[in-house]
Amino acid sequence: MSESNNNSAGDSSADREARSVTADSGVDQASMPKHSLLSRLYTGTGAFEVVGKRRFYYGLTGALVAIALLAMLIRGFTFGIDFEGGSRIQFPAGDGVETSQVETVYSEALGFEPESVQTVGSGSSATVQIRSETLDAQQIVTLQNALFDEFQPEDRNGNPSRDAISFADVSETWGGQITKKALLALIVFLVIVSIYIAVRFERDMAIAAIIALFFDIIVTAGIYALVGFEVTPATVIGLLTILGFSLYDTVVVFDKVEENTRGILHLTRRTYGEQANLAVNQTLMRSINTTVISVLPVIALMVVAVWMLGVGTLKDLALVQLVGIVVGAYSSIFFATPLLVSMKERWGPVAVHTRKVLARRATLAEKGLGAKTTESVGAGASVTQRAAVAPAPGARPTGKRKKKAH
């Protein structure tokens, strides 16, 4: 026993540190019980490598931005009447009324084609909406008579009436005012958000969060251009709403990153990126749940308000919220946090700490080559010292660590 104790005491401090570090990582993880996808999601043990695969997610993010920009440049936006001005004609859609028939009646009555004709809603609540350039009084009377003669729209009492055909003129000046106010609101929002995150967390987190918000704006706008939906004041309101959602999700993840990386510079077991990846895993299920719960009411809004009740203005609001919620969840998990880690590991004390941790692992790995063995205390059996490696994603504690000899 004394000889074993002497051998143990003769071990170098580096060897003891190597055994302590590799007590868990040296175990064959393949022999451990397998856990299902849902189990790994809920436990948040770091089984999903997000930060480590950030180059892939950067490429995916860049592809999404490129598609969105091309959609905006090639297809452009379809601005609603509130932004471009013009006349809006609306009347109840009777049985068998087709948009092509309405376009034909419009063209024959006025001599030029309307900008758009669409049917909104379904059943008894369905209406036909015509958007055209600004019409004068004579053109309005002519069109009203032509539409009434052809389709016989009914009023609320079920009687055919010319008054069932409504006209509204919108000035493009009002749309310009809305645009200016929306841009001002967006700028104020971004400034306040930057200040809050910089004070609450730190500068790099504020920069990463703002870049993620711009990503949300670009991709959501690109999808809107790709689909071809009209940009209305409801679209602007929805865009500001989803920015708030995206920011909330990002702040939740960053709060966990801050918690996991507190005091990381004084430790040499894990890097900043590994702790940030663990934070993403720990908040991943929460982000998924929040996204699903947020998307369900939006889908209900699209089904009930748009298709059943025929409230066409809510279509724009519902689409921008649906797209924005999904894009915001993606950016919070797969873009904002990896971007934060890249910024941290490029310069500053975190970069120095990361190099130190990796160098230490390389040194311990070199010591582990050749299957170096040491005598165990009291048993006489040899124990193989394994090379130190980074903790495997999803690795779980495998038992008590070996006690250091005194």
pLDDT of residue 15: 45
Share of the chain above pLDDT 70, in %: 73
Q: Does pLDDT of 219 surpass 70?
A: yes
Beta bridge partners of 231: 79
pLDDT tens, residue by residue, 46-55: 567 888 888 9
- Is the model's pLDDT at 31 over the cut of 90? no
**Count of CB atoms situated within 10 Å of the CB of 27:** 17
How does strand 116-120 pair with strand 127-132? antiparallel
- Once rounded to an integer, what is the mean pLDDT over residues 214-230? 86
What is the pLDDT at residue 13? 42
List own/partner pairs for 115-118 with CB under 8 A and 24 or more apart: 115/86, 118/312
Which pLDDT score is estimated for 382? 37
What local confidence, expressed as pLDDT, does residue 366 receive? 77
Predicted confidence (pLDDT) per residue in 351-381, tens digit: 888 888 888 888 888 776 444 433 333 333 3
Q: What is the pLDDT of residues 256-275, one digit of tens each?
A: 898 888 888 887 788 888 88
CA-wise closest residue to 130 among 82, 91, 174, 97: 91
Indicate yes or no: pTM above 0.75: no
Tell how strand 86-92 and strand 127-132 pair up. antiparallel
Torsion 230-131-81-314 (CA) sign: negative
Q: How do residues 226-245 score in pLDDT, each as one tens digit?
A: 887 777 777 777 777 777 77
Structure tokens at 279: 């934070």
- Tell me what pLDDT residue 351 has: 85
